[in-house]
């Protein structure tokens, strides 16, 4: 809504540059794309590029934040649908796979084999920051665990991301529902072994992968923090 005040040229140029980046990443991978390539394909002047983005990395981040916005919108819609009484039982992992699948061309460029690792590290840090407090809280009462919570968290996040990139790199050979099922099959027993069966259930991770109330709040904020990396 506030975008009304923007000069049309600005949006046009940004769009051209972002589209050029995307197609180039898909073609040859992020590392092998130069600013020169981007402005050639986008057909904008060199100085124009630098008027919009500090460098190639900021461009990628900027694009990634666009994707985050898309995901937030989707989650918001789900949440709204839930309030109207349908109670669909949010499942963030499933939503993630679905969302990623819907925009696979974008994500393949960003998070696939071709990507710089920057985004994956960004995501890893981000997810860890969200999951760690939840697990730490769930485990508060138990004095000693076979595995430190930090390690468990790291393992969980890594597993999700590795499954995600595997799926993208192979052009999504299974539907999101199946991927989410595999993730749960692989990771749930690890979680139970690391934290104890009771804690996993207490933490609101239900048998079918859905989440109970409080955790939804925590997980919902996934991608919702506007603070940037770097």
Partner DNA sequence: ATTTAAGCGAACAGTGTGTTCGTTATGAAG
Partner DNA sequence: CTTCATAACGAACACACTGTTCGCTTAAAT
How far CA 75 is from CA of 92, 105, 145, 182, in Å, comes to: 9, 20, 34, 22
Q: Does 2 bind DNA (CB under 7 A)?
A: no
Q: Does 69 bind DNA (CB under 7 A)?
A: no
For a copy of itself, the binding residue among 23, 62, 102, 159 (CB under 8 A) is 159
Binding segment for a copy of itself (CB under 8 A), chosen from 22-30, 50-58, 181-189, 203-211, is: 181-189
Smallest separation (angstroms) from DNA to the CB of 40: 9
Q: Does 35 bind a copy of itself (CB under 8 A)?
A: no
* Nearer of residues 48 and 159 to DNA, judged by Cβ: 48
For DNA, the binding residue among 50, 105, 175, 189 (CB under 7 A) is 50
For DNA, the binding residue among 24, 25, 44, 90 (CB under 7 A) is 44
* Nearer of residues 60 and 179 to DNA, judged by Cβ: 60
How far CA 199 is from CA of 40, 129, 154, 194, in Å, comes to: 55, 20, 18, 10
Q: What is the per-residue burial (b if ≥16 Cβ within 10 Å, else e) of 192-227?
A: eebbbeebbeebbbeeebbbeeebbebbbebbeeee
The answer to whether 97 and 176 are in contact (CB under 8 A) is: yes
Interface residue list for a copy of itself (CB under 8 A): 117, 146-147, 151-152, 154-155, 158-159, 162-163, 166, 181-182, 185-190, 192-194
């Amino acid at each position: 809504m506030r975008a009304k005040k923007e000069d049309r040229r600005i949006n046009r140029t940004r769009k051209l540059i972002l589209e050029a980046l995307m197609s180039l990443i898909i073609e040859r991978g992020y590392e092998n794309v130069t600013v020169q390539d981007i402005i050639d394909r986008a057909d904008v002047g060199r100085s124009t590029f630098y008027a919009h983005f500090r460098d190639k990395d900021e461009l990628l981040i900027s694009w990634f934040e666009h994707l985050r916005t898309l995901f937030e919108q989707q989650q918001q819609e789900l949440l709204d649908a839930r309030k109207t009484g349908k109670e669909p039982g949010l499942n963030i992992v499933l939503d993630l796979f679905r969302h990623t699948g819907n925009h696979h061309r974008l994500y393949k460029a960003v998070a696939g084999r071709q990507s710089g690792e920057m985004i994956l590290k960004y995501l890893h840090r981000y997810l860890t920051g969200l999951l760690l407090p939840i697990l730490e809280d769930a485990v508060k009462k138990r004095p000693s665990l076979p595995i430190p919570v930090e390690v468990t968290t790291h393992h969980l996040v890594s597993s999700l991301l590795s499954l995600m990139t595997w799926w993208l790199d192979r052009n999504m050979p299974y539907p999101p529902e199946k991927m989410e099922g595999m993730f749960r099959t692989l990771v749930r027993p690890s979680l139970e072994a690391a934290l104890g069966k009771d804690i996993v259930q207490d933490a609101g991770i239900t048998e079918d992968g859905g989440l109970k109330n409080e955790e939804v709040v925590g997980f919902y904020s996934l991608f919702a923090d506007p603070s940037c990396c770097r």
